[in-house]
Amino acid sequence: MADGGSVVREKMGDKLLFAGLTPTQLDRVAEIVKVRTFAAGEVVVRERDYGETLYVLDDERVEIRLEGAGSIAEVRAPRPGEISKTGDFFGEMCLLDLEPRCASVVAVEPCVAWEINRDDLYWLFGDDKELQLRILLTVARVLSRRLALADRRSGDERGRTGRAKLAREV
C-alpha cells in the first residue's frame, strides 16, 4: 500500500465509495491510497485549481466553500455503524472531467483523509471494468443526491417555477 498500511484496508469496506467491491478489488485500491492528515483550517482542495486526486474521509469533517459565498456544505466521515448516503468523499469530479475545482474544501478540525490519484485509479480501471463500473456508479449516485440536496436547500424560486412549468407542459 502506498502509505496507508493495513489499517486503511481494514476500514475500506465501511466506506461508501468502496461498497460492493470484492476483497481482491479492495486490496488493489488500497495499494494506491495515500494517508494524509490536515490541520483545522487547512485547505485540502482549492477552488479553481486543477485536481488530480479525490479524497475519502477517514475521520472528522471538512467544509465545502465557494469564493464569495462562504460555507455551502459539509462532508463528514460516518460514525461507526452509520451509512453515508451523501458520501464521505470529495474531489470526485476529477474522475469525470478535467476542469478546475469548483469549490474549496477546508478541514473543520484536524482530520485524516485517504488520497487517491486519478491516474492510478484509471490504471486499475484498465484491468478491472467491474471495479470501474462500481466506483463510477457510486460517484454518480452521490453526485445526484448532492445535487438534489443543493436544489432543495437553495430555495431558488426560478428553479421551482421552471420545474413547475415543465411539469405542466408534460
Convert the pLDDT of each residue in 104-138 to its tens digit: 999 999 999 999 999 999 999 999 999 999 999 99
| Secondary structure letter of residue 60 according to DSSP | S
What is the C-alpha to C-alpha distance for residues 21 and 137, in angstroms, rounded to an integer? Answer: 12
If we measure between CA atoms, which residue out of 136, 110, 117 comes closest to residue 34? 117
Tell me what pLDDT residue 115 has: 96
All structural domains of the chain, each given as residue ranges with its CATH number in brackets, are 5-169 (2.60.120.10)
- CA angle at 121 for the pair 81 and 47, rounded to the nearest 5°: 80
pLDDT tens-digit readout, 28-80: 999 999 999 999 999 999 999 999 999 999 888 899 888 877 676 677 666 66
Report helix, strand or coil for 53.
strand
